[in-house]
Structure 1
Amino acid sequence: MQVFAAFDHCTYLELAISKIEQEGIHKDRILAVPLKSNDDSVKLMDSIHHSDGISLFDTGAALATAFAVIGVSIGFKLEWGPVYWGLIGAGSGLLLGFAINLFYYTVIKKRKLKIGGSAKKTEVVLVIECREEVFSRVEKILKEHYALGIGYIK
C-alpha cells in the first residue's frame, strides 16, 4: 500500500518521518519529494487560454469615459470642437488609467508580496510504502503532524 501526503516545508515533516520510522517502516520505504515553486511574476497580458483576473483596461475605460465627457464639454468653447477634444480626452484617460494599473500591479503589488511575506513556500510530497495493517497508525501520525492532504493506493 502506498500513502501520499503533502506537507509544508517545515519541521513537522521531519518529525513525521522520524515517527513513521519508529513505527517500523524502513527509510527505503519513505520518499520525500520537494516541489519547486513557480515564478511569482505577474503576467500582465492575458492570453486566450489563461486569464488571471487582472485587468489593465478597467480603470482606463472609466477614466476614458470621464475625460471624454469633460473634453466634449470643454470642446464647445475651444477651436477644434467637441468631437476632437472628446477623442483626445478619451485617449488620454485610457492611457492614464493603463499607466496607473501598470504601476500598481508591477510596483506596489510586488512590494506587498515581498514585505508581507505572503510568497508561497514550497511544499513536499511524502510517499510511504507500508502494509495495510500499519496504515491507520501512519495516517494518524501524518494528521498529528499537520499534513495538508493525505491519499493512498491499495
Structure 2
Amino acid sequence: MQLFSTFENNSFLELAISILKKKGINEENIYAVPLDNRKDERQIFDTIHRSDGTSLIDIGMVLATAFSVISTSIGFKLAWGPIYWGLIGAFTGFIIGLAIRVFTEKVLKKKNRLLKGKQSEVILIIDCEETQAELVENILWSHYALGVRKVK
C-alpha cells in the first residue's frame, strides 16, 4: 500500500520522517519530492479559458454611472446638451475607475497575486504494509500534513 501526502517544507516533515523510521518503515520506502513554486508573476487580465475571479471593471462601472448622471444634469446648461455630456462623463468615469483598479492590482496587491493559502512544497510517498497504513496516516496527520491519500 502507498500513502501520498503533501507537506510544507518545515521541521514537521523532518519529524514525521524520523518517527516513521522509528516505527519500522524502511528508509528505502520513504520518498520525498520537493516541488518548484511559481516564480513568474500572475497575469492581471483574464482570458476566455482562465479567470482568477478578480474584476477590473467594477469600480469603472460605478464611476461611469456616477459621472454620467452628474454630467448629464450639468449638460442641460452646456452647449452640447445632456446626451453628449452624459456619454463623456460615463467614458471619463470608466477610464478613471479602470486606472484605479489596475493601479491597486498592479502595485498595492502585488503580493496577493501569488498563490493564496498554504502551498504544498513537498510530496511524501510512503510504501508500507496494509497493517501499518493506519499508523502511518495518523503520524502524517499529527505532523500537519496538508493532505493524505491511501492507494492500494
Q: TM-score range by the shorter chain?
A: 0.7 to 0.9
Size of the aligned set, in residue pairs, is: 151
The one-letter amino acid of 1:4's match is F
RMSD: 2.1
C-alpha distance 63-108 of structure 1, shift in aligned 2 (>3 A):
same
Gaps of at least 5 residues in structure 2 are none
Match of 2:66 in 1: 66
Cα gap change, 1:141/1:112 in structure 2, threshold over 3 Å: closer, same or farther?
Answer: closer
Would you say the 8 A contact 1:59–1:97 is kept in 2? yes
- Summarize the alignment of residues 3-152 of structure 1 with structure 2, pairs less than 5 Å apart: 3-39=3-39, 41-110=41-110, 120-152=118-150
Which amino acid is the alignment partner of residue 54 of structure 1?
A: T
Measure the CA separation in 1 of the matches of 2:14 and 2:74.
70
1:153 paired with 2:132, answer no
Question: 1:39, CA displacement in angstroms?
Answer: 4.5
**For residues 39 and 55 of structure 1, do their structure 2 counterparts lie closer, same or farther at Cα, with a shift above 3 Å needed?**
farther
- Contact persistence 2:42–2:113 (CA under 8 A): no
SS of 2:48's equivalent? coil
Structure 1, unaligned runs of 5 or more: none
For 1:24, what is the secondary structure of its paired residue?
coil
Q: CA deviation at 1:88?
A: 1.0
Judged with a 3 Å threshold, the aligned counterparts in structure 2 of structure 1 residues 61 and 72 are, in CA distance, closer, same or farther, namely same
Shift of 1:24: 2.1
Q: Distance in 2 between matches of 1:140 and 1:66?
A: 58
| 1:99-130 C-alpha deviation (Å, 9 max, x unpaired) | 0111111111125679xxx7754421100011
Rounded Cα–Cα distance in structure 1 between residues aligned with 2:42 and 2:90: 27
